[in-house]
Structure 1
């Protein structure tokens, strides 16, 4: 059975994000999965916290510090991550959103596109 264009593109986006994060932070997530849903690209990253961040996250104040630091990092490289999505999807990113769970060590990123990419991939 042939892999669908959608599944292939989702895998390519995941791989590009892992590569980008390894270059940016020195390590990438343990696992990345991307979903194309309508006009959105949703990326889920597991195992994103460093050993130090895990230790900090065991305390309330540390959890806030980790979330704040990751938010600042995300803002610093949001243009680059949006460019990855635009390049691979041939769609314009209208907005992007991110959140991290220090409890689960996961991060979710959502990119809203100017077209219904899922429909285009058929």
Structure 2
């Protein structure tokens, strides 16, 4: 692979921002991707709208927002796996995501078929 680790991390962040905007209708405020061994860990900040933060003030609203937001991302999982494959050449063997209703951050972890960090070094 002729890209540096930093270049590939930036490309992943840019591609996921574009996916968010086209699939979810809006993007996060910032996206940071890190390649670690056979994983790509993505941190997205500024996910929740002011209305969603207001709903998160009680447990029922919090769980509703968390479930809805996670379901939305889960339905786009195949597209996300395709994006990662097209950028890295690695199959995504598993995908994990969660959102913090306190900070408005989402984490995505893509577990890959090979050690991408080693390939890039």
TM-score by length of 1: 0.94
Partner residue in 2 for 1:30: 29
SS of the residue corresponding to residue 9 of structure 2 reads helix
Partner residue in 2 for 1:78: 77
Partner residue in 2 for 1:92: 91
Q: Which runs of 4+ in 1 moved over 6 A?
A: none
SS of the residue corresponding to residue 10 of structure 1 reads helix
Which residues of 2 match residues 33-52 of structure 1 at below 5 A?
A: 33-52=32-51
TM-score by length of 2: 0.95
**Structure 2 alignment gaps of length 5 or more:** none
Which residues of 2 match residues 14-29 of structure 1 at below 5 A?
A: 14-29=13-28
User: 1:51, CA displacement in angstroms?
Assistant: 2.1
SS of the residue corresponding to residue 69 of structure 1 reads helix
* Aligned-partner Cα distance in 2 for 1:119–1:56: 43
Partner residue in 2 for 1:11: 10
Aligned residue pairs total 119
Q: Does 1:104 align with 2:115?
A: no
Partner residue in 1 for 2:54: 55
User: 1:84, CA displacement in angstroms?
Assistant: 0.7
User: 1:86, CA displacement in angstroms?
Assistant: 0.8
Is the 2:37–2:117 contact (alpha carbons within 8 Å) kept by the matching residues of 1? Answer: yes
Give the root-mean-square deviation of aligned CA atoms: 1.0
SS of the residue corresponding to residue 24 of structure 1 reads helix
